[in-house]
């Protein structure tokens, strides 16, 4: 007789940026091994790819709508469902006093993680389904989505662009080289709008508080981005 497979519970969460409902399950020993191997290597890209693989295994998410903040937020939900909403962590801080440790243990309440920057994004750009319209003038502009990427700025731009439009039509078939040629021909002020869109994406944020075990000094550490939540 074959060994039975365990039935795993399922949960639902609404992604804060894309506003999409996602179903997920706790990760198992198999997925834990994927993350442990990436953590041992310490390479940020490998860690991000490992987390992505775990999310692919454990959710029904459509990657076309998953931006960095949604990716990070969903990962914190997975940790909470798989282990605990309270995660042990440690961070470095020099109190400047003899005998005080440099590494301080703390705990992160994953239920307190917030997504910062959504309202700012909405105030600057026009939302259309799963992408944002960035106008250059009254008749032309570019439509971009918030794409999860750990590549170069060129790759990020190429993966993020949905289409380019002007008074003559909409252009959505182009190679990376063709798009980069188009970008190179923009006015600096128009290119800066694209860079700002990429650089001011919403992100997950939380605060961890600790106390020096030697001198009792209170220590606060801000957590931003996926690597800070890889606990």
* Contacts with 60 (C-beta within 8 Å, 6 or more apart), sequence order: 22, 23, 24
Strand-pair partners of 71: none
Strand-pair partners of 109: 86
| pLDDT per residue as tens digits for the range 31-68 | 999 988 888 887 877 888 888 899 999 999 877 667 78
Prediction pTM value: 0.75
| pLDDT per residue as tens digits for the range 17-39 | 888 899 999 999 999 999 888 88
Given a contact cutoff of 8 angstroms between Cβ atoms, the answer to whether 186 and 164 are in contact is no
- In degrees and rounded to multiples of 5, residue 95 shows phi and psi of -70, -15
Show the DSSP H helices in the chain as ranges. 29-41, 44-58, 68-82, 118-124, 153-160, 176-184, 188-199
């Amino acid at each position: 007789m074959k060994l039975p497979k365990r039935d795993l519970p399922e949960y639902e969460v609404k992604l804060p940026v894309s506003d999409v409902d996602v179903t997920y399950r706790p990760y198992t020993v198999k997925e834990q091994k994927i993350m442990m191997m990436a953590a041992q290597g310490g390479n940020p890209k490998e860690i991000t790819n490992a987390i992505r693989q775990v999310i692919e295994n454990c959710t029904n998410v459509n990657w076309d709508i998953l931006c960095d903040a949604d990716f990070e937020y969903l990962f914190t939900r997975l940790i909470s469902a798989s282990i605990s909403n309270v995660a042990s962590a440690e961070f470095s801080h020099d109190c400047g006093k003899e005998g005080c440790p440099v590494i301080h243990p703390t705990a992160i309440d994953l239920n307190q993680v917030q997504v910062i920057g959504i309202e700012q994004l909405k105030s600057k750009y026009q939302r259309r389904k799963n992408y944002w319209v960035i106008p250059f003038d009254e008749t032309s502009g570019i439509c971009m989505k918030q794409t999860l990427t750990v590549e170069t700025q060129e790759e990020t731009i190429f993966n993020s662009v949905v289409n380019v439009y002007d008074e003559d039509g909409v252009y959505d078939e182009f190679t990376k080289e063709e798009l980069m040629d188009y970008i190179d021909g923009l006015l600096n002020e128009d290119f800066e709008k694209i860079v700002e869109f990429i650089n001011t994406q919403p992100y997950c944020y939380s605060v961890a508080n600790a106390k020096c075990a030697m001198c009792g000094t209170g220590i606060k550490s801000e957590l931003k981005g996926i690597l800070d939540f890889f606990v």
